[in-house]
């Protein structure tokens, strides 16, 4: 017994040190897009530790069984560490595939707890020696399926194989997407398109392989193909059109992540391009989910399609007695000192038109980063222009309106009102 306890302690310590060494070695000296690999390996270390411990315990059991007649403690420890590895692997896949902004939803957290409970219950039944009875019961229970019957064990095996293969396909698709998005030498839209296509291919292959493993004839998919065609004809045109439009946008590179666009009444920065919709994030942080069909069939204003520079405009009305020959160059120099305003092309100031109240001046300036707040630049420019006008003594005319009463009866009413006020 002491040999078995010592072997388990050594396996746990050795497995922990091996996992830590592998994690630290992979994480050192990684820069650029390889940081994604480093982050993934740090997460995978949670799986690596119980896997290595289970493998070491299994190897030690094979060795000690030749020298010791009783290795019951190792037989108990092996399924415990193996079940821990299974639980960690399932949690890792769920977090990699379904995590949203690094957090799992309440439903997935509940599923994790139920899955862990089922695994530990299975381990307890195995250690209690009840596995043979349970397997015999599952094999003996028949479920009617068409003209034939299948056992409950076969049905459970089919469901588990389909779920596992789909999870692996989704995990591989997520890893492929992270790898492609880290490649700086490729256009953003092309990277997203390749990631979406690769993920779709992996899912299709996983579904076909799982159906074949279960024993379902693949010719049955022709029935689903016919049903899909009927569905497209009856009401799925919009959904199919959005998916096709998504691939069109990605392949023709008309939009890219980071572009500032306006479509219909929605505007903002392209935060994410999915196969069915595109997410626009405005300056105030709100996100708009725009169907891809709108981006293909409608007019789109892309302020950063060929050039990210954006022109900002502000207007000011000055008095008719203002010396514009002296004021306009000073306004230009004032706008040059505003943060984020480009020096080339230089700011501009000119007389736009004559108004009844005064001279309308237009001041234009260019910025390189329109995805940031435009109001901040305009506010600073307006404050500097206001300070300049005050320093130069420029008058800002107020709108005046003269009201004349053409009907003589109004004069009589006004005289009566004045008489009443005097009393």
pLDDT confidence tier of residue 349, bands split at 50, 70 and 90: very high
Decide if 169 is inside a domain: no
Identify the CATH number of the domain in which residue 250 sits: 2.30.30.60
Decide if 38 is inside a domain: yes
Decide if 378 is inside a domain: yes
Q: Which of 105, 129, 153 is the last residue of a domain?
A: 129
Distance of CA 68 to the CA centre of its chain: 55
Q: What is the DSSP letter of 358?
A: S
Q: What is the pLDDT of residues 134-149, one digit of tens each?
A: 888 888 888 776 566 7
Distances (CA, A) of 80 to 74, 83, 144: 10, 5, 36
d(CA 77, CA 120): 13
Decide if 408 is inside a domain: no
d(CA 339, CA 210): 59
Residue 281 sits at φ, ψ, to 5 deg, of -110, 120
60 and 100 co-located in one domain: yes
Give the total number of structural domains in the chain: 3
Q: What tokens appear for 76 in the block?
A: 């108990």
Q: What is the pLDDT of residue 31?
A: 45
Decide if 287 is inside a domain: yes
296, 248 contact by CB (below 8 A): yes
Q: What is the pLDDT of residues 88-136, one digit of tens each?
A: 777 777 776 666 555 556 666 777 778 778 887 887 877 777 778 888 8
Q: What is the largest CA-CA distance in the chain?
A: 126
267, 217 contact by CB (below 8 A): no
d(CA 96, CA 175): 8
320 and 265 co-located in one domain: no
122 and 52 co-located in one domain: yes
Which domain, by its residues, includes 333? 310-392
Decide if 45 is inside a domain: yes
What global pTM score does this model have?
A: 0.50
Q: Which of 302, 324, 350 is the last residue of a domain?
A: 302
Q: What is the pLDDT of residue 125?
A: 77
Decide if 177 is inside a domain: no
6 and 56 co-located in one domain: yes
Q: Which of 129, 147, 170 is the last residue of a domain?
A: 129
Q: What is the pLDDT of residue 30?
A: 46
357 and 316 co-located in one domain: yes
296 and 346 co-located in one domain: no
Identify the CATH number of the domain in which residue 324 sits: 3.30.70.100
14 and 50 co-located in one domain: yes
Decide if 19 is inside a domain: yes
Residue 361 clears pLDDT 90, i.e. is over it:
yes
Residue 263 clears pLDDT 80, i.e. is over it:
yes
């Amino acid at each position: 017994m002491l040999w078995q306890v010592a072997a388990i302690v050594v396996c746990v310590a050795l497995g922990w040190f091996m996992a830590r060494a592998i994690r630290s070695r992979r994480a050192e000296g990684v820069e650029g897009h390889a940081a994604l690999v480093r982050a993934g390996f740090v997460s995978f270390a949670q799986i690596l530790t119980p896997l290595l411990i289970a493998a070491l315990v299994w190897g030690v059991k094979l060795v000690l069984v030749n020298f010791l007649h009783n290795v019951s403690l190792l037989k108990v420890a092996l399924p415990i560490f193996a079940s821990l590895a299974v639980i960690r692997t399932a949690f890792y896949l769920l977090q990699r595939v379904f995590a949203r902004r690094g957090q799992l939803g309440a439903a997935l957290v509940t599923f994790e707890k139920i899955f862990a409970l089922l695994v530990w219950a299975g381990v307890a039944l195995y250690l209690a020696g009840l596995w043979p009875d349970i397997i015999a019961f599952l094999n003996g229970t028949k479920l009617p399926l068409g003209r034939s019957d299948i056992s409950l064990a076969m049905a459970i095996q089919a469901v588990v194989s389909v779920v596992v293969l789909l999870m692996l396909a989704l995990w591989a698709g997520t890893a492929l997407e992270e790898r492609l998005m880290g490649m700086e030498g490729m256009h953003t839209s092309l990277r997203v398109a390749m990631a979406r296509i690769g993920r779709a291919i992996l899912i299709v292959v996983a579904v076909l392989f799982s159906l074949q493993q279960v024993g379902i004839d693949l010719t049955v998919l022709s029935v689903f193909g016919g049903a899909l065609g009927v569905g497209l004809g009856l009401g799925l045109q919009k959904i199919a059109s959005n998916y096709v439009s998504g691939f069109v946008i990605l392949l023709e590179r008309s939009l890219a992540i980071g572009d500032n666009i306006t479509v219909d009444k929605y505007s903002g920065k392209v935060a994410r391009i999915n196969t069915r919709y595109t997410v626009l994030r405005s300056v105030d942080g709100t996100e708009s989910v725009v169907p891809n069909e709108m981006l293909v069939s409608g007019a789109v204003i892309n302020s950063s399609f060929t050039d990210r520079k954006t022109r900002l405009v502000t207007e000011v009305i000055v008095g008719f007695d203002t010396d514009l020959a002296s004021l306009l160059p000073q306004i230009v120099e004032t706008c040059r000192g505003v943060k984020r305003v480009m020096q080339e092309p230089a700011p501009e100031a000119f007389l736009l038109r004559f108004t009844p109240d005064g001279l309308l001046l237009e001041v234009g300036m260019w910025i390189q980063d329109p995805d940031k707040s435009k109001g901040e630049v305009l506010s600073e420019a307006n404050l500097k222009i206001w300070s300049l006008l005050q320093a130069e003594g420029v008058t800002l005319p107020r709108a005046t309106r003269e009201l004349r009463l053409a009907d003589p009866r109004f004069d009589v009413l006004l005289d009566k009102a004045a008489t009443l006020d005097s009393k």
